[in-house]
Amino acid sequence: MTIKIIHKHYLYDADGKTAISVDGLVQLEKKIDKLLSLAFINNKNQSEMKADLSSITQEVTESTDAQQSAVILLKGLKQKLDEAGVDQTKLKELSDSLSASTDELAAAIVANTPAEDAAPDEL
């Protein structure tokens, strides 16, 4: 399309029939800039939401894995108690094994729990 300037405030196309004011072009440019800005912000927000969703999904997976591990542990413990019956020696071995496992688990929890920056407010 060829554009001719016939009047200093209007632009006409080559056929001389279609015109747009310079002010109209400025307003159109501002609207396009605004749309581009909104599109950029929308894209940025979507990226942030994807990252948040990924983090939440990971947390849910870790929580589910921990719950499943606890269920397996409890089922195994029940089976060992059933097998030990009333045999004091087997019960003592099971108690010692549980104590060692509990100590390891407690140490792992402490090692992997971030320290709080400040003490909680007293109520």
Q: Which of 10-19, 87-96, 106-115 has the lowest mean pLDDT?
A: 10-19
Q: CA 107, CA 100: separation in Å to the nearest integer?
A: 11
| Residue 10 burial (CB count, 10 A) | 14
Spell out the alpha helix ranges (H) of the chain. Answer: 22-84, 88-111
Torsion region of 85: left, alpha or beta (phi above 0 gives left; psi -120 to 50 gives alpha): left
Q: Which residues of 29-47 are buried (b: 16+ CB within 10 A; e: fewer)?
A: eeeeeeeeeeeeeeeeeee
- Domain range list for the chain: 3-109
Per-residue pLDDT tens over the stretch 31-59:
999 999 999 998 888 888 888 888 888 88
3-class SS of residue 116? coil
Q: CA 83, CA 77: separation in Å to the nearest integer?
A: 10
Per-residue pLDDT tens over the stretch 67-100:
888 788 778 888 888 888 888 888 888 888 888 8
Q: CA 67, CA 73: separation in Å to the nearest integer?
A: 10
Q: CA 38, CA 35: separation in Å to the nearest integer?
A: 5
